[in-house]
Structure 1
Amino acid sequence: MEKKPRVFTMSFGSVYPLYVQKAEKKGRTKEEVDEIIAWLTGYRGAKLQRAIDSGVDFETFFSKAPRLNPNVGLITGVVCGVRVEEIADPLMQKIRYLDKLVDELARGKKLESILRK
């Protein structure tokens, strides 16, 4: 059996503070990171906090997401040297979508633009 990429089994709660830290270093806020996560996955408020606190891995985080935003196809560009729109594995693609949105936030893009409005 093929070994899963390590990121699939990492807990979402262990990576979440890194997303927030990356954003805050660039003058953005935890609330903006939460807004991005809510837009992408439908997790917000107490549901998001439960996902962070419960230690679920990325695989579970995305499989149990309230709803994946229907506009995810509008997320394009390169993360970690790979074009997100060309990633074959659906879970890896979702993880990279989230990485890409947080990168855009940290680079100073307007939230409306990040949320593909």
Structure 2
Amino acid sequence: MYERKTPLDLNCGLDLVGEVLYGKWKIRLLWFIHSGHKRPSELHRKIPAASRRVLHMQLKELEDHELVTKVVYPVVPPKVEYSLTDFGKSLIPIISALGQWGDEHEERLRTQISKRLYFLSNE
């Protein structure tokens, strides 16, 4: 079982948001669920770089934080769908704004990321 090495420091809203949204794919999962991709296989097709296990774990964490709900239909094979809760929907304008900011500053961000990767590869 995972045991945290450093204690949680949840002193402000940014710490809380970071704890809830920390995870490489969580913001993208919320966005894709909002966009209508609700089945795990659809989400995996949208994020092929992520393993199914990691997506499952991050969806479970989003569910634990009450941002998404999971419905399991009693059919064979089992059918699972995720949807945003009202709480999760409240994040969509923020995620949209972050995406828009990234689009507006794409060239600068790509340049800085490339420089950082080059620096790290030559250490």
Compute the TM-score of the two structures, normalised by the length of structure 2: 0.28
User: Over alpha carbons, which structure has the higher Rg?
Assistant: 2
Asked which structure has the greater RCO (Cα within 8 Å, sep 6+), the reply is: 1
Compute the TM-score of the two structures, normalised by the length of structure 1: 0.29
